[in-house]
Structure 1
Amino acid sequence: MVAINDSGESLYALEWVLYTFLVLSGNYYNHDDQSMLTIIHVMEPFPYYAFPGAHAVFSSTSMVQSMSNKVQEESALAMLAHALHMCTQRMVRAKTSILEGDPKEMICQVAELMHVNLIVVGSRGLGKIKKGKAFMGNVSKYEVHHAKCLVLILKPPTSAPSK
């Protein structure tokens, strides 16, 4: 299972999976569900903000939330359509899902429910550097510590290969 977001790093992770695991091993166009790649995107819930002051007001109205959800869903659909196109180009069978919730928790829950044996996520390299040691980001760290299957965190190469 590959979890993607709007980062180039997650698309790199998908491309890596398509090439490394599926194309090289010959697991494409096998017609059982075990050989189907699952690609998920988790939409974070709309945040509610309270503005400080004498009369604290929540800024999230149902109209604003509805518009935000629509934009987020359209973006997710476009992202997953692109991911499916990448799979089709490599002749890899794939299915996609859009979920809503905390990405780090939802990825683990879906992986467990679907009996996934590998979660692949891209690393944006935004983890904090402290005392010379790099720390993983929130999602990556959570997956490593809570997933009940293998987790592969892929960091893109520092320079893009020439084509």
Structure 2
Amino acid sequence: MEGVTSAAGKEAAAPVTAGKTMNVLVAIDDSDESFNALQWLLDKILKRTTVTTEEEDYNSIGKNNGTDDESVLRIIHVMEPFPHYVFPGVHAVFPTTSIIQSVNKAQEDNASAILAHAVRMCAERMVKAKTSVLEGDPKEMICDVAEQMHVDLIVMGSRGLGKIKRAFIGSVSDYVIHHAKCPVLVVKPPTETNSLT
């Protein structure tokens, strides 16, 4: 599949067919790469005829266990917690409550805008989508939520980090490929020869 990398040793995703339930998890952030991955999924794999959006919270995840009559796309956005201290030089600095509240509000607004854009993309393709905003380390949360939701496939965008950057800061997609308990599809950014069309 052009522009797509799947986890080694795991089966590639098959197109959705009528009567078959397939639960797909897309981890999305504000990057072009994650929206490219969602668009690729909508164009190449998921082709449905109904639109439903439903917000879930982390406590309700997994209660459905993928028993819907039709395939469902689950879109999550993971907010990293705001650090409550910084170490400039030798002394620790603790932000005020109002600063923490402002940052949290900005993160929530950003998450809402990201998911609204993703839901619009799904609605254009008549694809059922459920959204969730979670807080924690994105790498770990994606794997944990995928296991709880019993998803069949995780789809992510690749930021194309260089080898040195990946060695120092790690890659969310690399982590998920090695730790998820289901197949993982990593969609590479489009290039002139590798476009969405």
Higher helix share: 1
Alignment of 1:1-163 (within 5 A): 1-23=25-47, 27-29=48-50, 32=68, 34-47=70-83, 48-53=85-90, 56-129=91-164, 137-159=170-192, 161=195
Aligned equivalents of 2:38, 2:104: Cα separation in 1? 25
Work out whether residues 2 and 40 of structure 1, in 8 Å CA contact, stay in contact via their aligned partners in 2: yes
Consecutive unaligned residues in structure 2, runs of 5 or more? 1-24, 53-67
Aligned partner of 2:133: which letter? I
Aligned partner of 2:79: which letter? M
Consecutive unaligned residues in structure 1, runs of 5 or more? none
Higher relative CO (CA 8 A, sep ≥ 6), structure 1 or 2? Answer: 2
The CA deviation at 1:65 is 1.2
Aligned equivalents of 1:20, 1:150: Cα separation in 2? 16
Q: Evaluate the alpha carbon distance shift between residue 153 and residue 81 of structure 1 in structure 2; reply closer, same or farther with a 3 A threshold.
A: same
Aligned equivalents of 1:66, 1:11: Cα separation in 2? 28
Work out whether residues 51 and 123 of structure 2, in 8 Å CA contact, stay in contact via their aligned partners in 1: no
Deviation digits for residues 36-66 of structure 1 (CA, Å, limit 9, x no counterpart): 110000000002312223xx23232222111
Aligned equivalents of 1:6, 1:45: Cα separation in 2? 16
Question: Could you state the TM-score of these two structures normalised by the residue count of structure 2?
Answer: 0.71
Q: Aligned residues: percent identity? A: 57
Aligned equivalents of 2:28, 2:103: Cα separation in 1? 19
Deviation digits for residues 129-162 of structure 1 (CA, Å, limit 9, x no counterpart): 59xxx87952011101110000111102213859
Of 113-122 and 153-162, more deviation after overlay is shown by: 153-162
Aligned equivalents of 2:170, 2:156: Cα separation in 1? 11
The CA deviation at 1:67 is 0.6
How big is the alpha-carbon RMSD for the aligned residues of Structure 1 and Structure 2?
2.5
Q: Evaluate the alpha carbon distance shift between residue 127 and residue 105 of structure 1 in structure 2; reply closer, same or farther with a 3 A threshold.
A: farther
Work out whether residues 40 and 196 of structure 2, in 8 Å CA contact, stay in contact via their aligned partners in 1: no
Deviation digits for residues 100-145 of structure 1 (CA, Å, limit 9, x no counterpart): 0000000000000000111111001014259xxx879520111011
Aligned equivalents of 2:153, 2:196: Cα separation in 1? 30
Aligned equivalents of 2:196, 2:49: Cα separation in 1? 26
